[in-house]
């Protein structure tokens, strides 16, 4: 199954198991069903998949109220940017509630899509995982492995509290992540979000020239695991480096004594809208390939590599 199909099945399974699980949001009952991810749940539980007004802050506050009454809302933002409209409730109330009122436990999941794909421009393509992970009280997940999507959803529902789940739309049609696995790698490529596809492509090409590069995706951004040992590490992100996710990984690696670390990410400017400029803006498989070679002092040229998934999405948003 593809990533989005795993999502759709996971929602249905959780709603079958627990009658308190709801899905709410703008477009969840639309024929497109959030890229098909809510259609199955809607067909099975039409009374628990609820279309909401276009009022993100109000909906977020309402979901907290429902959660405090024992429901388990899964709120959907079709794009990560739309969460910005609900930050007052999310940061000032929801994130702080478990500490201020520990006797009132609740479960609330907020789904949000990172809409990378040409034509999205700076308003529908941003990834705020690092920003959210720096808000005390919020748990942030960024699942990239299609076969682990259901696991992360179930884990969030079981552990409870407020959880933000970011979904890379670029991965929706992916069935599996394929990259070499090494017991003793020459280098790691630590990745966030859909850049895992570029990391995987780079690792395959690196293997052809005798370099064992191990892809290391971070899916639980709040926990932020890092590789062990003193192996060169390239850290890649599709969000701005200043936001802190790559900086946090680098800091943890340095604390462990690893000084051979290189960061790769987009420039500190808004994402351009055109396909050609977008391709230049994001870190590519070629960028990661070269970064690993540079760290290992093994200059090598890689033929230009363009992933088919880069062209798969052409809108609408």
Tell me the residue length of the chain.
317
Taking only Cα atoms into account, the Rg of the chain, rounded to an integer number of angstroms, comes to 20
pLDDT per 10-residue tile (average), the chain, 317 residues: 97 98 96 94 97 93 96 94 92 94 95 85 87 94 97 97 95 95 97 95 94 97 92 89 77 89 86 83 91 89 59 57
What integer pLDDT is reported at residue 257 of this predicted model? Answer: 87
CB 141 within 8 A of CB 133: no
What integer pLDDT is reported at residue 68 of this predicted model? Answer: 96
**The pTM of the whole model exceeds 0.85:** yes
Q: Cβ neighbours of residue 112 under 8 Å, at least 6 residues apart?
A: 76, 77, 79, 80, 82, 83, 164, 165, 166, 167
Distance from C-alpha of 170 to C-alpha of 241, rounded to nearest angstrom: 20
C-alpha distances in Å from residue 124, one per residue of 116, 141, 168:
8, 19, 12
Place of tokens 């076969």: 147
Q: What is the set of domains in the chain, with CATH numbers?
A: 3-171 (3.40.50.970), 187-304 (3.40.50.920)
Q: In what order do the strands lie in the sheet with 107-114?
A: 49-51, 21-25, 72-77, 107-114, 161-168, 139-141
Distance from C-alpha of 224 to C-alpha of 170, rounded to nearest angstrom: 22
Where is 159: in which H helix or E strand?
helix 149-159
Our measurement of the distance from residue 183's CA atom to the centroid of its chain's CA atoms, rounded to an integer in Å, reads: 26
Distance from C-alpha of 302 to C-alpha of 317, rounded to nearest angstrom: 33
CB 266 within 8 A of CB 127: no
């Amino acid at each position: 199954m593809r990533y989005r199909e795993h999502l759709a099945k996971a929602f249905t399974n959780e709603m079958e198991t627990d009658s308190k699980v709801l899905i709410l949001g703008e477009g969840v009952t639309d024929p497109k069903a959030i890229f098909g991810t809510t259609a199955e749940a809607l067909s099975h539980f039409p009374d628990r998949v609820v279309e909401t007004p276009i009022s993100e802050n109000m909906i977020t506050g309402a979901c907290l109220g429902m959660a405090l009454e024992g429901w388990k809302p899964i709120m959907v933002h079709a794009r990560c940017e739309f969460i910005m409209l609900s930050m007052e409730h999310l940061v000032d109330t929801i994130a702080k509630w478990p500490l201020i009122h520990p006797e009132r436990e609740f479960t609330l999941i907020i789904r949000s899509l990172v809409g990378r794909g040409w034509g999205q421009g700076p308003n529908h393509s941003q990834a705020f995982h690092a920003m959210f992970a720096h808000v005390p009280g919020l748990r942030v997940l960024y699942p990239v492995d299609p076969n682990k999507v259901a696991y992360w959803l179930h884990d969030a529902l079981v552990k409870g509290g407020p959880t933000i789940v970011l979904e890379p739309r670029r991965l929706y049609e992916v069935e599996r992540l394929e990259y070499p696995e090494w017991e003793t790698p020459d280098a790691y490529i630590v990745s966030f979000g859909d850049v895992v596809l570029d990391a995987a492509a780079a690792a395959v090409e690196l293997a052809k020239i005798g370099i064992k590069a191990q892809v290391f995706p971070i899916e639980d951004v709040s926990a932020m695991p890092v590789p062990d040992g003193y192996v060169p590490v390239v850290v890649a992100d599709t969000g701005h480096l200043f936001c802190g996710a790559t900086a946090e990984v680098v800091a943890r690696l340095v604390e462990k004594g690893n000084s051979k670390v290189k960061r790769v990410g987009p420039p500190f400017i808004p994402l351009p809208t055109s396909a050609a400029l977008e391709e230049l803006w994001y870190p590519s498989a070629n960028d990661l390939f070269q970064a690993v070679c540079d760290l290992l002092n093994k200059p090598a040229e890689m033929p230009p590599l363009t992933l088919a998934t880069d062209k798969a999405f052409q809108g609408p948003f």
